[in-house]
Amino acid sequence: MTSSGKLMSLMVGVLTALAFLLIWEVAVRALGVAAYLLPPPSTIAADLAKNWPRVISSSWLTTGNMVLGFLLSVAVGIPLAMMLAYSPFFERSVYPSIVFLQIVPKIAIAPLFIIWFGFGMMPKVLLVFLLTFFPIVINAVVGFKSVDPGIMELARSTGASGLRTFLKIRFPSALPSIFTGLKVAAALASTAAVVAEFVASDNGLGYLIVTYNGQLMTSMVFATIIVLGLIGLAFYYLIELLERLLLPWHVFALAEQTKQA
């Protein structure tokens, strides 16, 4: 997509969002909907501005938990994916346990984390880790297994060592799939952080949502959700930017495929 096409898409997106907010504002006021049920966007913006210091301080706490849990997922998930991809025995013995952990509702595990680790940072980071871990592992395994056998045979015929083959062929070939998993995990990270704060926290954006909801401050519930969504969106696009910097050839190939389609 050309730069003018991207600008046009951005403008269309912004105008669509503004039109939606305008319709929301007019409809709520025209129908006389109570503010505690559905506040107009102007009220949400005003209340957010009034309570901004508290929201921004909570945002830093939530973002910190989100990033730490995500980084822990990367640090554990990618090496584990390598072992799953290259060891059939390890895959048969460990993979079912990983799938089981993914199936178990994470909010059901949160009370155990409170018992074991208290109300500090640890239970929240671990819950983010559990929710973001699976997509990273699965996509990394797919990437490590999808290397062209012909290329690997050629590398072995030239006498390349196992380490050199991994660094020059296997790992670079797996990076597109790895980044797919990272982007999925980044999209889940904010959800994981706020779910953890619903259950196991006395601070953060999740705690604010519960507090404001209990006080029937619906406008601040909306405002906090919007801030949380913006944080998650920024985190996702940060991973996408990193992909563009590290894998420009892959991003270009995807753009060409989209253009041809």
pLDDT tens digits, 11-45:
887 888 889 889 988 998 888 888 888 899 999 99
Q: Do 110 and 1 lie in a common domain? A: no
pLDDT for position 136: 92
Q: Do 109 and 187 lie in a common domain? A: yes
Q: Quickly tell me which residue has 């998930």 as its tokens.
A: 77
Q: Do 95 and 23 lie in a common domain? A: no
pLDDT for position 1: 54
Listed as ranges, residues in the chain with pLDDT below 50 are 252, 255, 258
Q: Do 29 and 58 lie in a common domain? A: no
Q: Do 16 and 93 lie in a common domain? A: no
Q: Do 19 and 94 lie in a common domain? A: no
- Assessment of whether the complete model's pTM goes beyond 0.85: no
pLDDT for position 126: 87
Q: Do 15 and 55 lie in a common domain? A: no
Q: Do 124 and 59 lie in a common domain? A: yes
pLDDT for position 69: 92
Q: Do 111 and 8 lie in a common domain? A: no
Range of the domain at 76: 37-260
Q: Do 26 and 51 lie in a common domain? A: no
If one counts the domains in the chain, the total is 2
CATH number for 203? 1.10.3720.10
pLDDT for position 33: 85
pLDDT for position 95: 83
Q: Please give the full DSSP string across the chain, using - where no structure is assigned.
A: --HHHHHHHHHHHHHHHHHHHHHHHHHHHHHT--TTTS--HHHHHHHHHHTHHHHHHHHHHHHHHHHHHHHHHHHHHHHHHHHHHH-HHHHHHHHHHHHHHHHS-HHHHHHHHHHHHTTSHHHHHHHHHHHHHHHHHHHHHHHHH-S-HHHHHHHHHTT--HHHHIIIIIHHHHHHHHHHHHHHHHHHHHHHHHHHHHHS-SSHHHHHHHHHHHTT-HHHHHHHHHHHHHHHHHHHHHHHHHHHHH-HHHHHHHHHHHHH-
Q: Do 131 and 243 lie in a common domain? A: yes
Return the structure tokens found at 161.
Answer: 């060592």
Q: Do 48 and 69 lie in a common domain? A: yes
Residue 253 makes CB contacts below 8 A (sequence gap 6+) with none
pLDDT for position 249: 63
